[in-house]
Amino acid sequence: MKKKHWLIYALITTFFWGIWGAFSEIPEKNGFPGTLIYVVWSLSMLIPAFYALKQINRKVQTDKKSIFYGLLIGFTGAGGQLALLSKAIVTGPAYLIFPIISLSPVVTIILSTVFLKEKASLKGWIGIFLALIAIPLLSYQAPEDGPSNYTWLIYALLVFFAWGIQAFFMRKANETMTAESIFIYMTITGLILAVVALFMTDFSKDINWGINGPVLAFFIQLLNSIGALTIVYAFRYGKAIIVSPLTNAVAPVITIIISLILYKVFPNTIVLSGMILALISMLILSFDSED
């Protein structure tokens, strides 16, 4: 593979994650709880995991360093996913949550600049600054919208930091590990936390076990899982300060457009300003390719 192929993998991730973000809350609205959606997601990870295993002839790296990086990447990613599916999108609007989460490259860029010595241009730092301004604007709720409840924001920020840290270590681990081994650990940790998700599920409530529940959730979450594999490949060949913004920040452009059309919800002026700043930040960070 040539290094330029990182862009192909990054674009695949962007496309799949953008569609996933727009439809991810539908099964929960149909009566299939977020905790079980997480379980379905962890199972959907097995499909790209089998592909990854085949690529390395089932030879997963098991030295101490690889196990440490693998589990760290896996738990930050899967932990953020559990917080997102079981708490964030259950208590808050997707068209606000996903733009906030999409700004996680801010964390990745800072860590990569400091510890991996990757460079960010003046343009890149402007993008980071705009991202930080956008977050509080996106969390604003006007009085006429009803009682303010910022519980969703806490979980959204938790995912924001978890996925930002995960992306940094994903790039660092690629220096000594195969991308396939990294993904296998991501799958294993996802399945481990599925047990936690099951214990968090209230089975005394009515649960939709129909096609528009677990089956629909599986195909929606499979989009996320495929994107998770391709982003690991993107980090193998590309710089973290470029790959992370492109995949985690540009995908919500697709999510926002689909969500606003699907739910016919138009944000107030302050939130709209935050969304515009977030989009500008995403574009700046995504095309900041200075060496």
Q: Answer for the pair 56, 234: CB distance below 8 angstroms, yes or no.
A: no
Q: Which residue has the tokens 């700043």?
A: 277
Instruction: Return mean pLDDT, the chain.
Output: 86
pLDDT at residue 223 above 70?
yes
pLDDT at position 197: 96
Give tens-digit pLDDT for 68-83.
999 999 999 999 989 9
Report the C-alpha gap between 237 and 242 in whole angstroms: 11
Domain range annotation of the chain = 3-286
Q: Answer for the pair 120, 109: CB distance below 8 angstroms, yes or no.
A: yes
* Calculated CA dihedral for residues 76, 78, 81, 83, nearest 10 degrees: -70
Mean pLDDT for 250-266 is 74
Token pair listed for 232: 């690991």
Which residue did the predictor score with more confidence, 95 or 191?
191
- pLDDT-above-90 percentage for the chain: 50
pLDDT at position 147: 44
For the chain, the residue count is 291
Task: Answer yes or no: pTM beyond 0.75.
Answer: yes
Confidence of residue 286 (pLDDT cuts 50, 70, 90): low
Q: How far is CA 70 from CA 44, 129, 170, 190, 211, in A?
A: 19, 31, 8, 12, 34
